[in-house]
Amino acid sequence: MTLTVALTIALLLVVTGMALALADGGVTSEDDADVTVVPEGTGTISTVDGVEGPQLGATNERAETIGDADEIDHASPVLIERVRLASADGDGEPRTILVVGVVPDDDPRTVAGLSTDGLEPADPHYGDGTYDGPRQREIVLSTAAADRLGATEGESLAVAGLEVPEAAAASSAVTVTAVENGPDDDENEAPVALVHLSELQTASGAADGELADRVLVWGDEDAAVDAAGEAYPDAAVETDRATDPSALFDDGLAFATSLLALLVGLTICTSFVATTAGMTVDEDRRTLAVLESIGFPTHSRLVVVGLSTVVTTLCGALLGAGLGVASIELLNVVAASTVASGTVAQAHPLFVPYAVVVGVVSGLVAVPYPLAIAARTSVLQEVGR
Amino acid sequence: MFGRSRRPTAGTRAHDCEESTPAVRLEGVGHEYGAGGDRSVTALRDVSLSVRTGEVVGLKGPSGSGKSTILHAVAGLLVPTEGTVALLGTDLTDRSDRTRTRLRRHHVGIVFQRFHLLPSLSARANVALPLVQTGVGRSNRRDRAEKLLEEVGLADRTTHLPGELSGGERQRVALARALAADPDVIVADEPTGELDTATGSDVLELLTDVGRDGGRAVLVASHDEATLSVADRVVPLRDGRVVTDGG
């Protein structure tokens, strides 16, 4: 019974972990900004089928405005594009990586899990909206991206795919200025890269309208919220984007997924516990009969059955929590080496109490069945055998 | 060996009633399994017998003669459909389940043919088990269980699981368990049924010591003549009736 419960709970945690990863937004949201401005309602649409979600407009100009406000250190739009890159000398297969465009400043910032330190400060190609300034042609690769492309520091890469306009592709060769280990080893498995924002906007067609997926603001949090709210009154200003389970409630699809997983998990878990506990009690009828014969009253025997059911379920839940977290790690490893570009499921410390609560609730819902079987045990039939 | 501590019993004290009231008295007891239904089976008909403290009484008869039913009635595990079953002067037939369970816990020890020890508990834990419900503290339970195991000759087997013991040793553990709550009455249903002759003889010796030296009433059901030979008297049963009472 313990193993059955453990497997069910593990499955529940894997699905919940996937929902959490959906809500979190993945590796590209790994940054050290104090405030993030995102378009309202991005999560659901972009995570359903990969269709590009709503973006923010006039981001370069407004980020500058935000950055100039008091107590704000820096503000940068962030544009994320899937780009097929290959070695500029024609060696190696073109590979798809996530390229993140940012505006670096003099201080090293973390965006998409990578430090902006490898990029020259400022974004001269933007040229106050003309997009005709000099290109820096720099790219910072994550270790995974470098591995995937077979590139090292100092090598040139060129856009190879059809996912950006071809005209732009021809003039978009970049030089690897750094291969970075991000702050979190797990996230390093995602092949991501940093480039100057305006160069990516030009390459992807986002220059028209100065589009970006989000704007990051560093500085005093209250001041950043005020400045960001002023620049983008209709956008969502987030101050706490740590991967915590409350993110599930902010994202419709992720919430529905996790809720469905919870309902299915509870139902399956309860069914398993009821069935297996019932079978166990049926096998233990003789023990119950012996307890009665030596003077254990009915309520004591039922307490024994109830407690053993709930405790066994609890053990299964704890085992399932460990199994679930391990499965999430395994899933990420398998996904990263096959189909996904980053983390597909995320574990969280709260998963352990969550698993325990689900296990206990399942045990409590299921316990009347074994209790009924125990109560119907005939001592005379059992000890007479 | 098997000396007893005297304590209050079911409404009186055992030593007060040893001479006057039998420890067990059945009067006009009849029992029908599935009473009232089409498939009812009559197990006992008008059975009357008594067992005094310190006496070992054998119940003799073939399968289906009602031996086990009498033992179950004395232990309060079933309520006969007719007659009265008095344990230390208290009629069990008009008591609630809860009261019968309490009386059994304090005054009756049961020895089964197939031992019925809990396989996952050590010999000591099996012996101490009846004391859990009586509220005896953990260390006292251990002491009591070890003392009883020593008395039945298993001092070196206290931590063994039932699966690690021979049949004779298991039955001795079962006997020690039956004695854990210092009962006034011991009922044993085919106590040597699973044992070879020599081992069975050892167990019977212990059982009779428990009765005679320990001042308890012992009721032994068996169809084996050798087993019944240790009894002070034997009550033959056939088809649920007492054929004759040797006492």
Contact with chain B for residue A162, Cβ under 8 A: no
Beta bridge partners of A236: A38
pLDDT score recorded for residue A201: 87
Which band of pLDDT confidence, cut at 50, 70 and 90, is reported for residue A219? confident
| Confidence check: pLDDT of B59 > 50 | yes
- Whether A273 and A294 share a structural domain: yes
For residue B120, give the chain A residue with the closest CA.
A287
With contacts defined as CB-CB under 8 Å, which chain A residues touch B106?
Answer: 295
pLDDT score recorded for residue B9: 44
Nearest chain A Cα distance for residue B75, angstroms: 8
Among A51-60, A290-299, A322-331, B184-193, name the one with the lowest average pLDDT: A51-60
Of the candidates A349, A262, A252, A351, the one whose C-alpha atom is nearest the C-alpha of residue A23 is: A252
In what side-by-side order are the strands of the sheet with B233-238? B108-111, B185-189, B217-222, B56-60, B233-238, B241-242
Of the candidates A150, A146, A160, the one whose C-alpha atom is nearest the C-alpha of residue A84 is: A160
- Whether A280 and A221 share a structural domain: no
Distance, CA of B177 to CA of B151 (rounded, Å):
12
Distance, CA of A6 to CA of B162 (rounded, Å):
31
Is A18 a member of any domain?
no
Whether residues B105 and A379 touch (CB distance < 8 A) is answered with no
With contacts defined as CB-CB under 8 Å, which chain B residues touch A293?
Answer: 75, 77, 104, 110, 112, 116
Q: How many domains does chain B have?
A: 1
Q: Which of A290, A296, A300 sits opposite B116 (nearest CB)?
A: A290
Distance, CA of A113 to CA of A120 (rounded, Å):
18
Whether residues A295 and B118 touch (CB distance < 8 A) is answered with no
With contacts defined as CB-CB under 8 Å, which chain A residues touch B177?
Answer: 294
pLDDT score recorded for residue A162: 46
Q: Which of A291, A293, A298 sits opposite B77 (nearest CB)?
A: A293
DSSP-assigned letters across all residues of B33-60: ETTTSTT-EEEEEEEEEEE-TT-EEEEE
Whether residues A384 and B77 touch (CB distance < 8 A) is answered with no
What residue numbers bound the domain in which B67 lies? 51-78+94-242
Residue B33 contacts residue B240 (beta carbons within 8 Å): no
Whether residues B112 and A383 touch (CB distance < 8 A) is answered with yes
Residue A126 contacts residue A47 (beta carbons within 8 Å): no
**Distance of alpha carbon B44 from the chain centroid:** 19
Contact with chain B for residue A167, Cβ under 8 A: no
| CATH number, domain with residue B238 | 3.40.50.300
Q: Which of A286, A300, A383 sits opposite B133 (nearest CB)?
A: A300
Q: Rounded to 5 degrees, what are φ and ψ at A253? A: -65, -45
pLDDT score recorded for residue B15: 45
- Whether A194 and A312 share a structural domain: no
CB under 8 Å to A325, separation ≥6 — which residues?
Answer: A13, A347, A351
Domain final residue pick, A191, A214, A238: A238
Residue A131 contacts residue A125 (beta carbons within 8 Å): yes
Nearest chain A Cα distance for residue B213, angstroms: 23
Q: Which of A297, A380, A384 sits opposite B101 (nearest CB)?
A: A297
Is B87 a member of any domain?
no
Q: Rounded to 5 degrees, what are φ and ψ at A370? A: -60, -30
* pLDDT tens sequence across B64-86: 899 999 999 999 999 999 999 99
Question: Percent of chain A having pLDDT more than 90?
Answer: 9
- Whether A71 and A193 share a structural domain: yes
- Whether A193 and A259 share a structural domain: no
- Whether A261 and A308 share a structural domain: yes
Contact with chain B for residue A293, Cβ under 8 A: yes
Is A17 a member of any domain?
no
- Whether A233 and A277 share a structural domain: no
Q: Tokens 């974004």 sit at which residue?
A: A123
Count CA atoms within 13 Å of residue A176 on its CB side. 25
Is B19 a member of any domain?
no
Residue A358 contacts residue A270 (beta carbons within 8 Å): no
Nearest chain A Cα distance for residue B118, angstroms: 6
| Confidence check: pLDDT of A335 > 60 | yes
Contact with chain B for residue A292, Cβ under 8 A: yes
What residue numbers bound the domain in which A162 lies? 35-238
Whether residues A294 and B101 touch (CB distance < 8 A) is answered with no
**Distance of alpha carbon B186 from the chain centroid:** 3
Beta bridge partners of B26: B49, B85
Of the candidates B201, B241, B182, the one whose C-alpha atom is nearest the C-alpha of residue B2 is: B182
Nearest chain B Cα distance for residue A10, angstroms: 29
Higher pLDDT, B173 or A227: B173
* R_g of chain B, CA atoms, integer Å: 17
* pLDDT tens sequence across A17-40: 887 777 666 566 677 788 888 887
Is A24 a member of any domain?
no
In this structure, chain B runs to a length of: 247
Is A28 a member of any domain?
no
Angle at A373 between CA A369 and CA A375, to 5 degrees: 110
Higher pLDDT, B140 or B213: B140
Domain final residue pick, A187, A211, A238: A238
Instruction: Give the mean pLDDT of A59-79.
Output: 88
- Whether A227 and A306 share a structural domain: no
Whether residues A384 and B68 touch (CB distance < 8 A) is answered with yes
Of the residues B92, B112, B148, B182, the best mutation for testing chain A's interface (the one with the most A CB atoms within 10 Å of its CB) is: B112
pLDDT score recorded for residue A45: 44
Residue A97 contacts residue A114 (beta carbons within 8 Å): no
Contact with chain B for residue A298, Cβ under 8 A: yes
Residue B220 contacts residue B57 (beta carbons within 8 Å): yes
Distance, CA of A202 to CA of B234 (rounded, Å):
109
Nearest chain A Cα distance for residue B112, angstroms: 8
Structure tokens at B92: 């069990």
| Confidence check: pLDDT of B194 > 50 | yes
CB under 8 Å to A319, separation ≥6 — which residues?
Answer: A2, A3, A5, A6, A9
Q: Tokens 């409350």 sit at which residue?
A: A246
Distance, CA of A363 to CA of A375 (rounded, Å):
18
With contacts defined as CB-CB under 8 Å, which chain A residues touch B133?
Answer: 294-297, 300
ipTM for the predicted complex: 0.86
CB under 8 Å to B165, separation ≥6 — which residues?
Answer: B123, B157, B173
Higher pLDDT, A238 or A139: A139
Q: Which of B77, B105, B134 sits opposite A379 (nearest CB)?
A: B77
Instruction: Give the mean pLDDT of B17-21.
Output: 52
Is B155 a member of any domain?
yes
Of the residues B44, B104, B148, B190, the best mutation for testing chain A's interface (the one with the most A CB atoms within 10 Å of its CB) is: B104
Distance, CA of B96 to CA of B99 (rounded, Å):
5
Q: Rounded to 5 degrees, what are φ and ψ at B191? A: -65, -20
CA dihedral A311, A317, A321, A324 (to 10 degrees): 150
Contact with chain B for residue A304, Cβ under 8 A: no
pLDDT score recorded for residue B67: 93
- Whether A90 and A127 share a structural domain: yes
For residue A298, give the chain B residue with the closest CA.
B98
What stretch of H or E contains A192? strand A192-196
In this structure, chain A runs to a length of: 385
Q: Mean pLDDT over all residues of chain A? A: 81
Angle at A288 between CA B124 and CA B180, to 5 degrees: 35
Distance, CA of A354 to CA of A346 (rounded, Å):
14
Nearest chain B Cα distance for residue A299, angstroms: 10
With contacts defined as CB-CB under 8 Å, which chain B residues touch A380?
Answer: 72, 77-78
Residues of B contacting chain A (CB within 8 angstroms): 68, 72, 75, 77-78, 97-98, 101-102, 104-106, 110, 112, 114, 116-118, 129-130, 132-134, 177, 181
Distance, CA of B144 to CA of B180 (rounded, Å):
7
Amino acid at B211: G
Count CA atoms within 13 Å of residue A72 on its CB side. 22
Provide the terminal-to-terminal Cα distance of chain B, rounded to the nearest Å: 27
Largest CA distance in chain A: 96
Nearest chain B Cα distance for residue A320, angstroms: 25
Among A267-281, A327-341, B170-184, name the one with the lowest average pLDDT: A327-341
Is A39 a member of any domain?
yes
Distance, CA of B119 to CA of A311 (rounded, Å):
20
Is B11 a member of any domain?
no
Beta bridge partners of B188: B111, B220
Per-residue exposure over A131-158, b if at least 16 CB sit within 10 Å of its own CB, e if not: bebebbbbbbbbbbbbebbebeeebebb
Q: How many domains does chain A have?
A: 2
| Confidence check: pLDDT of B8 > 50 | no
Of the residues B116, B136, B148, B189, the best mutation for testing chain A's interface (the one with the most A CB atoms within 10 Å of its CB) is: B116
Q: Is B163 helix (H, G, I), strand (E, B) or coil?
A: helix
